[in-house]
Amino acid sequence: MGFSIWHFFQGLWSLTLDEPKIVAVRILLIALGFLLIYLGYRKTLEPLLMIPMGIGMLGVNGGVLVWEAARTGNLFVNPLVSDPIELMNALQINFLQPVYNFTFGNGLIACLVFMGIGAITDLDFLLARPLMSMMLAIAAEFGTIVTLPIGVAAGLTPHEAASIAIIGGADGPMVLYGSLMLAKHLFVPITVVAYIYLSLCYAGYPYLIKLLIPKELRGIQMDLKAIPRVSTGEKFAFAIVACGVLCLLFPVAAPLFACFFVGVAIKEAEVTRLVEFLSGPLLYGSTFFLGFVLGALLSAEIILDTKVLLLVGLGMLALLLSGIGGLIGGLIYYKLSHKKVNPLIGIAGVSCVPTTAKVAQKCAFEANKWAMILPYAMGPNVAGVITTAIITGIYVSGISFFG
Amino acid sequence: MIMKSIAFAAIAYGIAIGISLLVAGIIKIIYFLVHRGQSKNTATDRGGKA
């Protein structure tokens, strides 16, 4: 290959060498990267994730090099490399390859995020109202359950359908972990779709609430004085016992349970320096690399998979059905409690901590400025993390026997 | 395959409900063990502040 001026501008040159379909998708993903960065900057979407994800996306789709024989590639990451010699080469060339192979491929990044989430989770309201919190969280897993057969009917394999259905649990690290275990070839689009939708929950769920719950029910005040006080010892004991029992029941999800509850236990044991480490550098460092590497993994070849469009639709359906399930659960508790429970706390069972609890509070305030329901909403919100982990454990352990 | 997946989803939901009840039960047991012999400890008992 002789020298030409294009050697200086290989990103542009690669646009003339790739197939037109790949070029179109690359340009689309660069534009999407800019959009995510802009929406993150404006705080419309979660900036913690969207800014690094958007930059990773436009970097990997723009920064394409031309190798010998007009082959193209990049210096970011190659998720498809598996041969040990090729992998060793890739680890020394691609700057994100070590992060991908040592933290994504084995689910470590999800576990690190979970440790941080555990260290900032307040169990008070779950322990104050355990039955109501767990049942509302289970109602809000409706989408996680129903999307599985819908995905199979739409042509996905049971493993693929289960991993996209986990989006209904609205728990980003769980979606990443579940899709790595169930459908590794689709984990990038599934996780990216999940994080974008989770960012949109704050904007989208209020419309669902207003559609399904009348204003007089949205404005119901709840008695905050009736919430029992929960001691640190109770929370610590619960974290230890629940961790032991759930790990025993679901060994495949044991890393997630162990990481979540170790965060909770350290917080309740008041080990201040470790709490600061888990809830600060570890949580935010993991979240940053999660967003950045996910963006860098989103290359044109990944998006051109014919199943991606289906995943986009099913992800939205899962979250919509979970929201509906949570609100129906809230309405059932409203009836059972003789109209004392505000049904909006049901949607907080969709465990996007703390977004959905804030959504419930925001909608309650709009209907009645004296309606304070956030403490009650935090119970199902935290319970949702546990129920999503339980269902992920069931899917990962059992789906092979039904596939 | 679709019927199988519906059956699996229904079983998964049933198991998840059962485990959730178990978790709620664990919390109740811990509560009773910690508060044996104590009066009902609510915010009202502490002077009416939540």
CA distance A73 to chain B (A): 40
The widest CA-to-CA distance across chain B, in whole angstroms, is 60
What backbone phi and psi angles, to 5 degrees, belong to A34?
Answer: -60, -40
Distances (CA, A) of A70 to A4, A18, A73, A250, A352: 13, 9, 10, 49, 45
CA dihedral for A366, A368, A372, A378, sign (positive or negative): negative
What's the confidence (pLDDT) of residue A290?
92
How many interface pairs between A and B have CB atoms less than 8 angstroms apart? 115
Closest to A11 measured CA to CA, from A80, A53, A62, A85: A62
Beta-carbon neighbour count of residue A99 at 10 Å?
Answer: 18
Give A117 or A355, the one with higher predicted confidence: A117
Task: Say if residue A348's pLDDT is above 70.
Answer: yes
ipTM of the complex: 0.87
Where are the domains positioned within chain A?
1-75, 108-402
Tens-digit pLDDT profile for residues B1-32: 889 999 999 999 999 999 999 999 999 999 88
Q: Which of B1, B8, B45 should be substituted to probe chain A, the one whose Cβ sees the most A Cβ atoms within 10 Å? A: B8
Q: pTM of this prediction?
A: 0.89
The 8 Å CB, 24+ separation contacts for A284-290 are A284/A48, A284/A116, A286/A109, A286/A112, A286/A113, A286/A116, A287/A48, A287/A49, A287/A113, A287/A116, A288/A48, A288/A52, A289/A52, A289/A99, A289/A103, A289/A109, A290/A49, A290/A109, A290/A113, A290/A172, A290/A173, A290/A176
Which of A67-76, A190-199, A282-291 tops mean pLDDT? Answer: A282-291
Identity of the residue in A127, A153, A249 whose CB atom sits nearest the CB atom of B27: A127
Residue B2 sits at the chain A interface (C-beta within 8 Å): yes
SS3 A314: helix
Residues of B within 8 A of A146 (CB-CB) are 9
Task: Say if residue A374's pLDDT is above 80.
Answer: yes
What's the confidence (pLDDT) of residue A257?
93
- Among chain A residues, CA nearest to B34: A234
Distances (CA, A) of A320 to A94, A151, A345, B22: 38, 15, 16, 27
Give A82 or A136, the one with higher predicted confidence: A136
What's the confidence (pLDDT) of residue B41?
53
Tens-digit pLDDT profile for residues A45-61: 888 889 999 999 999 99
Q: How confident is the model at residue A133 (pLDDT cuts 50, 70, 90)?
A: very high
Q: N- to C-terminal Cα distance for chain B?
A: 52
Burial of A166: CB neighbours in 10 Å, binned 0-12, 13-18, 19+ = buried
CA count, 13 A, side-chain hemisphere, A190: 33
CA dihedral for B9, B13, B15, B16, sign (positive or negative): positive
Give mean pLDDT, residues A202-209: 90
What's the confidence (pLDDT) of residue A6?
78
Task: Say if residue A233's pLDDT is above 80.
Answer: yes
What's the confidence (pLDDT) of residue A147?
97
Residue B1 sits at the chain A interface (C-beta within 8 Å): yes
Rounded mean pLDDT of chain A?
Answer: 91
What's the confidence (pLDDT) of residue A403?
60
CA distance A327 to A346: 5
Identity of the residue in A138, A229, A246 whose CB atom sits nearest the CB atom of B46: A229
Task: Say if residue B49's pLDDT is above 50.
Answer: no
The token pair at A131 is: 């039955």
The percent of residues above 70 in pLDDT, for chain A, comes to: 99
Tens-digit pLDDT profile for residues A20-31: 888 999 999 999
Residue A90's identity, in one-letter code, is A
Residue B18 sits at the chain A interface (C-beta within 8 Å): no
What's the confidence (pLDDT) of residue B40?
54
